[in-house]
Amino acid sequence: MEQIAEKERRVRVGITHGDVNGIGYEIIIKTLQDQRLMELYTIVVYGSSKVASYHRKTLNISDFNFNLVKKADQAHPRRPNIVNIHDEEIKIDLGKSTPIAGELSLLSLEAATDDLMKGNIDVVVTAPINKKNIQSPGFAFPGHTEYFAGKFKTDNYLMLMVTSALRIGVVTGHIPLGKVKETLTEELILSKIQVMNQSLKRDFGIVKPRIAVLALNPHAGDDGLIGSEEKTLILPAIEKAYAQNILAFGPYPADGFFGATSFKNFDGILAMYHDQGMVPFKLMSFDEGVNFTAGLPVIRTSPAHGTAYDLAGKNEASPEAFRNALYLAGDIFMHRLEYDELHANQLHPSGNQ
């Protein structure tokens, strides 16, 4: 594939530092200590060299340093680079939520997003933020997922949790449980099935993905005895998806579906609400899971855990989920190149435009 051969360069990975009082820098530094990453990626952290130095000393890590650059396009291909988004001294309060930590989280996020929009980086990996202290006129969102959807003007997107064992998306994301029922519609469920199907094909290289759709009510409503949403909303959406040649099945009662390990038979699982998908996911993959925003024109991943204030500064945080998020971002980037070239060739087999 000629076009891919031209693009077989290092994937340019932008990393946001998240909440500076959490474990963000610890998992970033521990991940980037592996020099093998530099053979695959050009790494740019949007953060503060002073804060990075503070965390490195706190963690007693002596064999690691960032290469300080002013802009992403100056990044050294074989060294971990950092762009200062704030040059002044910063008070670090490990394990605490502070206003300055929220401000720095947003500055990092905005800088990385701007470079992503301009094409200066290929993908972005976000370290955990505190969703409360980051709230401001520039971030009036419940989380990273909605922020990126808003920035890239995407209405139909999907929070997709990824691990080696399963991929779980949620129809309704960061909303109160009491609003789930009124938010669910046949159209919304169908749109999320469509996003998942396309993402499994384009982002994960699965030719004919099989998607399991979970029920809303216990026992899938027991034929209407304890809820009708399965009959009136979920099943019609599945049938419409199937008519579009999407291999969607269900609705399955969530408890039996996971208890009987039926999830192993599917490439993707669509849950109706946040905790229905997150509880089994985190039980199986808390230390290694990745959050990926499917449906965006850009690639954004994140470790599936939070700021972990209780571990900050103790040198106890595992970098596995962050490392997996970095690898997944790179893999998706290459899958998209392959998928897009393949379909471009199918549209123009003779090479004529």
β-strand partners of 16: 46, 126
Find the angle CA(66)-CA(72)-CA(76) to the nearest 5 degrees.
Answer: 50
* pLDDT higher than threshold 50 for residue 1: no
Q: Which two tokens stand for residue 231?
A: 């009959």
Contact assessment for residue 198 and residue 299, using Cβ atoms and an 8 Å cutoff: no
Give the Cα separation of 42 and 85 in Å (integer). 19
Give the Cα separation of 17 and 210 in Å (integer). 36
User: What kind of architecture, by CATH, is found in domain 155-291?
Assistant: 3-Layer(aba) Sandwich (3.40)
Give the Cα separation of 115 and 97 in Å (integer). 27
Residues 338-350, mean pLDDT to the nearest whole number: 76
Q: How far is CA 231 from CA 157, 228, 255, in A?
A: 24, 6, 19
Fold agreement (1-154+296-353, 155-291): yes
Contact assessment for residue 122 and residue 12, using Cβ atoms and an 8 Å cutoff: yes
Torsion of CA 108, 147, 306, 292, to 10 degrees: -110
167-201 per-position pLDDT tens digit: 999 999 888 999 999 999 999 999 999 999 999 99
pLDDT classification of 10: cutoffs 50, 70, 90:
confident
Q: At residue 165, what is the residue type?
A: A
Can you give the pLDDT at residue 62?
Answer: 87
Can you give the pLDDT at residue 5?
Answer: 41
Q: At residue 257, what is the residue type?
A: F
Most confident of 68-72, 143-147, 174-178: 68-72
Give the Cα separation of 189 and 272 in Å (integer). 8
DSSP code of residue 313: T
Can you give the pLDDT at residue 326?
Answer: 98
The helix (run of H) or strand (run of E) holding residue 271 is strand 268-271
Q: CA nearest 75: which of 53, 47, 45, 44?
A: 44
Residues 137-142, mean pLDDT to the nearest whole number: 90
Domain ranges of the chain: 1-154+296-353, 155-291
Residues 266-290, mean pLDDT to the nearest whole number: 93
Q: How far is CA 323 from CA 134, 203, 231, in A?
A: 24, 18, 41
Neighbours of 132 (CB within 10 A): 8
Peptide bond into 251 cis (omega under 30): yes
**Class of 1-154+296-353 in CATH:** alpha beta
Task: Work out whether strand 210-214 and strand 123-126 pair parallel, antiparallel, or are unpaired.
Answer: unpaired
DSSP code of residue 253: P
Which residues fall within 8 angstroms of residue 85, CB to CB, at 6 or more apart?
46, 47, 48, 104, 107, 108, 111
Can you give the pLDDT at residue 97?
Answer: 96
Find the angle CA(272)-CA(274)-CA(275) to the nearest 5 degrees.
Answer: 105
3-state secondary structure 178-200: HHHHHHCCHHHHHHHHHHHHHHH
Q: Which two tokens stand for residue 229?
A: 């949403």
- 269 compared with 263, residue with greater pLDDT: 269
